[in-house]
Structure 1
């Protein structure tokens, strides 16, 4: 995401949940929608576990931002709504790209007659047609020297002339050799070396088509005034509370072909998916997404029956709503009568990183202290108790694994030793002793996270584990942030010593997780740990041009072992997500690779069609 790219706070549940919308909130929505909707309206209320820090595609690095960005803006490609394994398909593109035999040239045609939503940014407030030059402009923005893009890593060092354009001062009138238009609706991209993941980058919010008029009109305020050609149009945005969107009446007519989308009647018919066949997205008139951190509030709202429509199941409710947890979750008869359920292992993982730029815990110019810091990191990892973390926060049904290649990708190694995920207090104490660490000379551990109940509980659990290896309580400090945006900003500025993170894969390839530890992608890029191992970097660069193969998989696994051996992160755990939604909602949710793309397919049934 990815950072999909997409960064997540590992101290918050990586699940999509519906908003807390009480009576007053409902009245506010009705008032806001007056004059925009005619007759009975379908309003779908969604929610996220945190607020976006920006809605500018430049910085759509979190799940929260990306969810909204890909519904306001357009991308060249998307993923099929229902197909698993995931399949990438054209979105704004007419077809999949024409690729040269050497893998260096891509020719992509975009659809004609696609228009941006009306906005004051355009002359007379009328949105113009989307053209190929808009993509070139949008990519250039990521490499503009005045911008602090969080998405430039997707194309950094990949496209001929792009980095040189940045170094020359980012003059938008200058032509980039590797980014050209062949006509108003055809783009030619020339790569420095083969980049097998290129088309997947064009399914991320970072790659959204942004009109230059909107950037000129809103400037930095584009982060709260998005203007795109996607299925929805922003009506009202309160950055800490909610986003209220309405159907983009200019959105292209594209009737849903369920067979194309991967429809399986055995899996999908029970959710009413057959009812959307032939309809053109978006299927609801308005979409409201609330930003709510606390799972208890979401759960209470969901169970009222007349507020939110969809929720992830909080850990404290799992035992109550399931008649069986293993080997497959099954709802109690009472819950099954009221709600739909779907469960899946996340395509991603949570992990706790050390900031390697912090000389107290990471790299240090003094080689002796550098070695001692590594021993300290390894000791902390050995004291970490993944089983307890899983039982307390993830209902004991999550999957732990060693390193940074999660079980959902084909490069995962099921034979790899899991010793780095097992608690071993004797080993932790031995490492502390070898490093010469005592209660008097250990550095204070600053553990950063969002100010939520769950985050605080995770910190207290962590502090308890550190106490078990002789760490003084007063030397394990909680660094609290008011919002996920504030937390993520501090991470991107390398200000936090130890922090929990989560990553949802942008595409099903281990390269997408390995890039999280590639040195040149250090903060403010996707490598929040700021790990910088020359050999790891070399192998990353070598594999970045390789097609999937046994050789590439072996190199990926070598890189995974380097991260484990250097004790850069405490990893990892893939959560089992359990989703519930009311039976008047037609949906097959995906909080992961399809992500926010699924929202345009959501429909609401009236009483007669339920």
Structure 2
């Protein structure tokens, strides 16, 4: 899932210097007891950390980024959740009593809810004088109905689109009209207050991963009705925490939800977990923190200053600080060779080695640029040779060396390393740089030397490194006569623009929502075009048919072959220019316990315990 939000959010326009000054000032006011990762606030156990991005929405109908999920998953609970320590990944019941009963050849799912799980108290519960009621099966049905309501402009209708016949029919019936939330359908229903049942059109093995996403939570209709559009600022959930403050684009504050269900720290893990001490809290009730403060930054420098000042329980090393953090063996031009230990991990510089543990996390990741397939210049079959020409001007390996210290995995197509269907032997014939071939294709496209081609538009983020990468890309395209202007914006604006199909080209990244290539290939599935997840609006009928075949198949060699066929189609059409997968470098202060980085899991805060909370 990408990072971002929506256009109605308030946008702060603070300069980098001001962010840095605030971070330094905050660090100077901290007491010695606060340093490390926790701080004291009226005797509470306080957990603080930061993010180099902002959450755009807390509304489960409107999640559009991993940062939205990072917030939403802490205030809303889900039927199923990732087993925190298990690798390979597996799921376990959350709000559900047990794993679902699956019948009718893998199409009908019956899920029993745990009894007695209540929403936080809120004034929207007018009938009970503000006391939160029990979460019931009808709340899950409402969530999916609201996604189907076209007037709600759901950012994640794609999660269930095409899966439940009755829900699709309601979507079509009320498209552009007021939705009837009281209308019943047979294939999605609350059998009783504690039993959810839905029937898929056809088997979809990945549905269990979907059910673990924060957007598939339960929440109360009366609170959406009460707050209207302001529901986004008043999350009413059953999660481990509840929100007490949200300074948009700056920070949000959560406190322990005293009504949260019994949730125990896992008792099983890997041998590495045991060695790292992650099983010391086995069987203890969570969350450990009483209060969570998440600081949000639009630039990496103030984020890093905050982390180095000791105000974060963990930190991700921004690319521009990599040379400060790790030891370099040698340099050759833009390429660097890093000192590594016996396990093949880079070695921390002495100034960091005495304070932090290092955890490298290879991401299921798709860093790419894309062309709007509906655009009259770069889109469709007409724009194919132009797209291929532009792709051939750009060397991803060079970009990797320049901006990622050579640490990314460069791969061909849309399927990243780490999932079934990935083939490291696949090459992209339109990967650059090959300027002579690029010039020939540009001429075949009808624009010899760029003559007759209007200036193209590239949309992307406004952080310093992204803008530098865009400038490098634009310089490369200019070598064959293609002119591109860059429109930099915060992700909230970018997301809105993409949903309105107003970007000709775009620079984006997609982090895996679940560990299956389907989650990446769906970005190229035609029916998912904007405002769905397919921001490139790519639509190839051949790929769509193969996708629909593969979506009902269990994991295995046959399905992987179909994935590879779709990857080949995407490469030939060149709607996407890429790709790269990152390795995220996490530093963990010695006093932070139980942190096991994984970016498909958004509930880390409930698992973290600190050696020193700074209690008064």
Mark yes or no: TM-score above 0.5: yes
CA shift at 1:418, angstroms?
4.4
| Counterpart secondary structure, 2:481 | coil
**Equivalent position to 1:231, from 203, 225, 240:** 240
Please say if residues 4 and 53 of structure 2, whose CA atoms lie closer than 8 Å, have aligned partners that are also in contact. Answer: no
Partner in structure 1 of residue 12 of structure 2: none
**Equivalent position to 1:382, from 375, 385, 392:** 392
Cα distance in 1, alignment partners of residues 324 and 405 from structure 2: 11
Provide, for residues 381-435 of structure 1, a one-character-per-residue CA deviation record: whole Å limited to 9, x for no partner. 1111111211122111110000001011022112212444442222212211222
Cα distance in 1, alignment partners of residues 313 and 502 from structure 2: 38
**Equivalent position to 1:578, from 568, 582, 585:** 585
Partner in structure 2 of residue 11 of structure 1: none
Cα distance in 2, alignment partners of residues 50 and 298 from structure 1: 10
Partner in structure 2 of residue 298 of structure 1: 303
RMSD: 2.6
| Counterpart secondary structure, 2:486 | strand
**Equivalent position to 1:416, from 426, 429, 447:** 426
Provide, for residues 120-172 of structure 1, a one-character-per-residue CA deviation record: whole Å limited to 9, x for no partner. 11132211111111100111110113211111111112113111122333311
Unaligned 5+ runs, structure 2:
7-19, 31-39, 328-337
Partner in structure 2 of residue 192 of structure 1: 201
Partner in structure 1 of residue 486 of structure 2: 478
Please say if residues 19 and 48 of structure 1, whose CA atoms lie closer than 8 Å, have aligned partners that are also in contact. Answer: no
Partner in structure 1 of residue 9 of structure 2: none
**Equivalent position to 1:465, from 466, 469, 476:** 476
Partner in structure 2 of residue 90 of structure 1: 93
Q: In the alignment, is residue 503 of structure 1 matched against residue 513 of structure 2?
A: no
Please say if residues 163 and 200 of structure 2, whose CA atoms lie closer than 8 Å, have aligned partners that are also in contact. Answer: yes
Distance change >3 Å, CA 538–CA 608, structure 1 → 2: closer
Q: Any residues of structure 2 matched to 1:399-548 within 5 Å, and which? A: 399-437=409-447, 438-471=449-482, 475-481=483-489, 483-548=490-555
CA shift at 1:24, angstroms?
5.2
Partner in structure 1 of residue 190 of structure 2: 181
**Equivalent position to 1:218, from 208, 224, 227:** 227
Please say if residues 180 and 187 of structure 1, whose CA atoms lie closer than 8 Å, have aligned partners that are also in contact. Answer: yes
Partner in structure 1 of residue 369 of structure 2: 352
Cα distance in 2, alignment partners of residues 508 and 212 from structure 1: 31
Cα distance in 2, alignment partners of residues 523 and 90 from structure 1: 32
Partner in structure 1 of residue 218 of structure 2: 209
Please say if residues 20 and 292 of structure 1, whose CA atoms lie closer than 8 Å, have aligned partners that are also in contact. Answer: no
Partner in structure 2 of residue 313 of structure 1: 317
Cα distance in 2, alignment partners of residues 121 and 19 from structure 1: 39
- Runs of 4+ displaced beyond 6 Å: 2-6, 25-28
Cα distance in 1, alignment partners of residues 162 and 366 from structure 2: 27
Provide, for residues 474-511 of structure 1, a one-character-per-residue CA deviation record: whole Å limited to 9, x for no partner. x3211122x21111111111111111111111111111
Partner in structure 1 of residue 152 of structure 2: 147
Provide, for residues 554-595 of structure 1, a one-character-per-residue CA deviation record: whole Å limited to 9, x for no partner. 11111111110001000210011100122221132434222x
Please say if residues 3 and 151 of structure 1, whose CA atoms lie closer than 8 Å, have aligned partners that are also in contact. Answer: no
Provide, for residues 224-283 of structure 1, a one-character-per-residue CA deviation record: whole Å limited to 9, x for no partner. 211100001000012221111111111112222321xxx22434543x423322321111
Please say if residues 160 and 177 of structure 1, whose CA atoms lie closer than 8 Å, have aligned partners that are also in contact. Answer: no
Cα distance in 1, alignment partners of residues 425 and 486 from structure 2: 36
Unaligned 5+ runs, structure 1:
7-17, 29-36, 364-369
Cα distance in 1, alignment partners of residues 106 and 403 from structure 2: 45
Q: TM-score, with normalisation over the residues of structure 1?
A: 0.89
- Number of aligned residue pairs: give it: 575
Distance change >3 Å, CA 3–CA 577, structure 1 → 2: closer
Partner in structure 2 of residue 342 of structure 1: 359
Please say if residues 23 and 305 of structure 2, whose CA atoms lie closer than 8 Å, have aligned partners that are also in contact. Answer: no
Q: In the alignment, is residue 41 of structure 1 matched against residue 41 of structure 2?
A: no
Distance change >3 Å, CA 536–CA 546, structure 1 → 2: same
Cα distance in 1, alignment partners of residues 520 and 136 from structure 2: 33
Range with bigger deviation, 277-286 or 523-532: 277-286
| Counterpart secondary structure, 2:323 | helix
Partner in structure 2 of residue 599 of structure 1: 605
